[in-house]
Amino acid sequence: MNTDFLLIRDDDIPGFVDSNASDLGIVGENGYMEYILENPDNDLEIIAKLQFAYCRLSLAAPEGSGIKQLSDYNGKTIATSYPATLADYLKRNNINAKIIQMHGSVELAPKIAVADAICDLVSTGATLKENGLIETHIILESEAVLIGRKSASSEMKAKAQELMFRINSVIDAKDSKYIMLHIDKDAVSKLKDILPGCESPTVLHLHGSDNKVAVHVVSKEGVFWDTIAKLKSIGASSILVVPIEKMME
């Protein structure tokens, strides 16, 4: 698969794909939504959600401001880097507020009396807390998405599916572990209670032993020290836990 990758500003990615400068793009869902609201005649679509870069676009107001309910934003000034998404949300909820567009440090707007509240991306909420802001309403739940053009050729759509196959192999493997261990035959059935996802483990005969077998299994759950302790409690030994680079279903 002959592919060239371009590293550009996330705000520019939807436009690159829409204008045919790029065939596909990986961008935050928040950036994608802002673009399609600003450009209603766009040719874009989400091909797949990629299960990483989770965040949310939220309204937040200063502590002690009295802004709690959505109706409290009526008549207020809100600073944001996502004016189209915010305007669409306010319109759908019949809220009349003034929107000021900023391109960075949005959380400082209330401190310098530029705005009464903000609409910004939130991940952990630590930045809001540092600036005395309280998250009040979530406008959009976001994650990284793969985008393309609706009018793309069948050949390009096939390439997009091949790319997604490769991406998914990494995503599926990310939290999975390949586990090998020795255990008594009679205890094999107990493994699925300890290792989710191992309903059909590979069981191999151990040379020179009539009672013990080698078990190989892929577990899609995290394997922690307490998991190892549980395995040992049912007689498992020679336990080996290996990370998986790629996994194809």
pLDDT single digits (tens) 69-80:
999 999 999 999
Domain residue limits, the chain? 10-53+144-173, 55-141, 176-243
The per-residue pLDDT for range 196-235, each reduced to its tens digit, is: 665 578 899 998 888 899 999 888 766 678 888 999 999 9
Instruction: Please indicate whether the domains covering 10-53+144-173 and 176-243 agree at the CATH topology level.
Output: no
Residue 109 has phi, psi (to 5 degrees) of -55, -50
74-110, pLDDT tens digit by residue?
999 999 999 999 999 999 999 999 999 999 899 999 9
Q: Which two tokens stand for residue 20?
A: 């045919």
pLDDT of residue 221: 66
Which residues partner with 42 through β-bridges? none
For residue 60, give the nearest of 152, 146, 130, 154 by alpha carbon: 130
Are the C-beta atoms of residues 118 and 110 closer than 8 Å to each other? yes
Q: Which CATH superfamily is domain 55-141 in?
A: Periplasmic binding protein-like II (3.40.190.10)
Q: Is the pLDDT of residue 185 over 80?
A: yes
Task: Give the pLDDT score at 54.
Answer: 95
What is residue 195's predicted lDDT score, i.e. its pLDDT?
Answer: 82
The reported pLDDT for the residue numbered 213 is: 94
Identify any residues that bridge with 122 across adjacent strands, giving them in sequence order. 56
Average pLDDT, whole number, for the chain?
92
Which pLDDT belongs to residue 150?
A: 96
The highest-level CATH class for domain 176-243 is alpha beta
Torsion angle of C-alpha atoms 160, 161, 167, 172, degrees rounded to 10: 160
pLDDT per position as a tens digit, 135-184:
999 999 999 999 999 999 999 999 999 999 988 888 877 778 889 999 99
CATH class of the region 10-53+144-173? alpha beta
Per-residue pLDDT at 209: 83
